[in-house]
């Protein structure tokens, strides 16, 4: 049985990737999936060696043959996205709906595959990694996340590894839904701020809807004790386990600057020990989930 563990956050900048990379160092060997495709940065810490790289095609785009175009203007009046400027197409605005191809009287328009980004399969010092890059201005990040996860699962199967650790997108949009659907555990990294609590609640709500077992990590908990208590209170009321509390410590940032994971940069630090305990609890929970499923 392959377990997918997603590390997410209600917003960016909570320390999600630092924590996911630390779990990778502690839990290795495992498969990594960087599903933060709009701003992927796990590779900065993990220095993957790329084994396979492919175009990511999720949509079509219209192309006009200027030799066939009579400039009748029909495509302009029928395009609801304002993308037709014969003999050119605004490829960012074009949604690939095909209406212009249908109405063009001279057959000057055809739909072509649109390359929205790249997918990568790589090797890191902690295990195989599936990651991607979305080209600037491109949508389809949800589809790309699904593709990254699919490839990560395949890597897990071929390498005989049981855990896929996902660095998810921040927020509650389409890429996060694609990150969480079907995941076994969802770890929300939050900070004790007003927006931190609000964003955490939204992502926990999403997990409840997708039946993902939730856990919460309270990062920099000592910076605002009363807000931290509010988060703890909320989790107690909702029956959500706090996986751990991490105090503010500049070594987190220092390790990032050195492009290393925290357990590698500061193996004997208190935070590394805390992260180890958290990972042990994750493994324990996965065993419990597996046992419970075996009984049903
Ligand atoms: S509908 Fe066809 S022929 Fe008319 S302007 Fe558009 S591309 Fe040209
Ligand atoms: S494919 Fe659709 S969106 Fe793109 S130019 Fe044609 S009508 Fe407009």
The CATH number of the domain holding residue 150 is 3.40.50.300
**Residue 80 and residue 212 in one domain:** no
**Residue 189 and residue 272 in one domain:** yes
If you take atom 8 of ligand 1, which residue's CA is the nearest one? Answer: 69
If you take atom 3 of ligand 1, which residue's CA is the nearest one? Answer: 69
**Residue 133 and residue 237 in one domain:** yes
Range of the domain at 62: 58-115
**Residue 260 and residue 186 in one domain:** yes
pLDDT at 1: 84
Q: Is the pLDDT of residue 235 over 70?
A: yes
Q: Is the pLDDT of residue 293 over 80?
A: no
**Residue 26 and residue 73 in one domain:** no
Nearest to 96 by CA among 86, 83, 78, 105: 83
CA 62 to centroid of ligand 2, rounded, Å: 6
CA 177 to centroid of ligand 2, rounded, Å: 28
**Residue 8 and residue 107 in one domain:** no
CA 112 to centroid of ligand 1, rounded, Å: 17
Q: pLDDT digit string (tens) for 207-216?
A: 999 999 999 9
Q: pLDDT digit string (tens) for 12-59?
A: 778 899 999 999 999 999 999 999 888 888 999 999 999 999 999 989
**Residue 111 and residue 130 in one domain:** no
If you take atom 4 of ligand 1, which residue's CA is the nearest one? Answer: 72
**Residue 207 and residue 289 in one domain:** yes
Q: Is the pLDDT of residue 296 over 80?
A: no
Q: How far is CA 65 from the centre of its chain?
A: 38
Q: How far is CA 285 from the centre of its chain?
A: 22
Q: Which atom of ligand 1 is nearest to the CA of 76?
A: 6
Tokens of 212: 């993902």
Q: Is the pLDDT of residue 233 over 70?
A: yes
Rg value, the chain, Cα:
22
Tokens of 22: 């630390």
Task: Count structural domains, the chain.
Answer: 2
CA 89 to centroid of ligand 2, rounded, Å: 8
pLDDT at 41: 84
Q: By the 8 A CB rule, do 141 and 175 touch?
A: yes
Tell me, yes or no, whether 11 lies in a domain: yes
Q: Which atom of ligand 2 is nearest to the CA of 97?
A: 2
Strand segments, DSSP code E, in the chain are 3-9, 31-34, 49-64, 84-85, 88-89, 109-124, 127-134, 163-170, 185-190, 213-219, 241-246
Site to probe by mutation for ligand 1, drawn from 66, 70, 100 as the one with most ligand atoms within 8 Å of Cβ, is 70
Q: pLDDT digit string (tens) for 180-212?
A: 988 989 999 999 998 888 899 999 999 999 999
Q: Which atom of ligand 1 is nearest to the CA of 100?
A: 1
Give the mean pLDDT of 52-67.
95
Q: Is the pLDDT of residue 10 over 80?
A: no
CA 95 to centroid of ligand 2, rounded, Å: 6
The rounded mean pLDDT for the chain is 93
Q: Is the pLDDT of residue 98 over 80?
A: yes
Tokens of 120: 């990568």
């Amino acid at each position: 049985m392959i377990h997918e563990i997603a590390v997410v956050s209600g917003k960016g900048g909570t320390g999600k990737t630092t924590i996911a990379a630390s779990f990778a160092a502690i839990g290795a060997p495992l498969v990594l999936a960087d599903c933060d495709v709009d701003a992927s940065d796990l590779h900065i810490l993990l220095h993957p060696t790329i084994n396979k790289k492919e175009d990511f095609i999720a949509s079509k785009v219209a192309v006009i043959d200027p030799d066939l175009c009579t400039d009748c203007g029909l495509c302009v009046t029928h395009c609801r996205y304002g993308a037709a400027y014969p003999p050119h197409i605004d490829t960012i605005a074009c949604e690939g709906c095909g209406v212009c191809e249908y109405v063009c009287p001279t057959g000057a328009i055809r739909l072509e595959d649109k390359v929205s980004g790249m997918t990568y399969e790589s090797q890191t010092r902690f295990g195989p990694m599936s990651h991607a890059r979305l080209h600037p201005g491109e949508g389809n990040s949800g589809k790309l996340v699904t593709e990254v996860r699919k490839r990560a699962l395949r890597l897990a199967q071929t390498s005989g590894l049981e855990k896929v650790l996902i660095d998810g997108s921040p927020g509650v949009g389409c890429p996060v839904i694609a990150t969480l659907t079907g995941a076994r555990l969802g770890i929300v990294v939050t900070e004790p701020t007003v927006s931190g609590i609000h964003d955490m609640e939204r992502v926990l709500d999403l997990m409840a809807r997708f039946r993902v077992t939730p856990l919460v990590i309270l990062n920099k908990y000592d910076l605002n004790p009363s807000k931290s208590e509010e988060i703890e209170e909320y989790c107690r009321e909702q029956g959500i386990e706090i996986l751990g509390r991490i105090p503010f410590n500049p070594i987190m940032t220092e390790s990032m600057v050195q492009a290393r994971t925290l357990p590698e940069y500061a193996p004997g630090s208190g935070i590394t020990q805390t992260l180890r305990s958290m990972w042990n609890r994750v493994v324990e929970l996965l065993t419990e989930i597996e046992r419970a499923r075996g009984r049903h």
